[in-house]
């Protein structure tokens, strides 16, 4: 039965940046389909606890881990904390990211370091930590949350957009190496999604560029749109999908 392939019963999933937005949506969807959930937050544990209560209401196990992925050694520390909860992680969703809007002439060294460490370095190091165990057991799912900015870069997010493109290359490289070990590696690239990040103050691009940043559907997406695709990619239904970049963007990448 096709429906059975979407079941995550008996699996444990870590979703980074899951105290709100897309990460929260994915965590709740995975819990709905039976996965035990490890939530991750950077600083605000109160938000994560609210999500944890929602997950508990669904009837699966849930834990919270706090870690600032912009710090050196954070990925190894996170891995150690997960190892204290479960013997083996089945699903890793790397959603946490740092986005520091600024005109390209005003980007500081600190802006670069925070975004590189959070968006790229920690992503690679989390893969290094968790992928070998998945390969050893013969089943695993790694999903990075990219961005439509891989092809429609916003002028005020030059570093963020460049790093999302770099992560996609990382995904394709690792997917090739793990394809015969039962581990899939994919990238889900959202467009404009209704999350708290939309409230951030972002310098407005000039009109000729702004037009190409409009979503053809004319609508905002929501976290559930991303969660549905994440469920496909991280369940048995996605067994034959790896190394892919899949947009959930209302056509913005066209």
Rounded to 5°, the CA angle 76-79-83 comes to 140
d(CA 72, CA 76): 9
**Bridge partner residues of 144 (DSSP):** 94, 187
**Euclidean distance between CA atoms 155 and 119, whole angstroms:** 18
65: helix, strand or coil? strand
Q: Is 247 among the residues known to form the active site?
A: no
User: How many whole angstroms separate alpha carbon 21 and alpha carbon 132?
Assistant: 29
- Whether 130 and 92 have beta carbons less than 8 Å apart is answered as yes
Q: Are 191 and 148 in contact (CB under 8 A)?
A: yes
Q: Choose, from 33, 79, 160, 247, the residue flagged as catalytic.
A: 160
Residues contacting 230, CB < 8 A, separation 6+: 26, 29, 30, 93, 143, 188
The answer to whether residues 211 and 204 touch, using CB atoms and an 8 Å cutoff, is no
CA nearest to 244, candidates 233, 231, 228: 233
Place of tokens 């048995």: 236
> Which residues have a catalytic role annotated?
160
């Amino acid at each position: 039965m096709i429906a059975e392939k979407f079941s995550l019963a008996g699996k444990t999933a870590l979703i980074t940046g899951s105290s709100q937005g897309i990460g929260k949506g994915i965590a709740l969807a995975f819990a709905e389909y039976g996965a035990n959930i490890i939530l991750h937050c950077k600083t605000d544990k109160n938000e994560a606890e609210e999500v944890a209560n929602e997950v508990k209401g669904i009837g699966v196990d849930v834990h919270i881990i706090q870690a600032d992925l912009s710090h050196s050694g954070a990925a190894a520390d996170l891995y150690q904390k997960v190892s204290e909860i479960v013997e083996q992680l089945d699903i890793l969703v790397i959603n946490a990211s740092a986005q520091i809007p600024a005109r390209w002439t005003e980007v500081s060294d600190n802006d670069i370091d925070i975004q590189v460490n959070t968006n790229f370095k920690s992503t690679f190091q989390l893969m290094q930590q968790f992928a070998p165990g998945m390969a050893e057991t013969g089943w695993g799912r790694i999903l990075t949350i990219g961005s439509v900015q891989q092809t429609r870069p916003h002028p005020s997010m030059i570093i963020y957009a460049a790093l999302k493109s770099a992560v996609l290359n990382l995904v394709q490289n690792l997917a090739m190496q793990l394809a015969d070990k039962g581990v899939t590696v994919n990238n889900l690239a959202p467009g404009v999604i209704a999350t708290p990040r939309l409230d951030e103050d972002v310098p407005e691009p000039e009109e000729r560029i702004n037009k190409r940043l409009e979503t053809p559907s004319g609508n905002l997406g929501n976290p559930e749109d991303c969660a549905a695709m994440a469920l496909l990619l991280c369940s048995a239904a996605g067994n034959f999908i790896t190394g892919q970049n899949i947009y959930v963007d209302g056509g913005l990448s066209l």
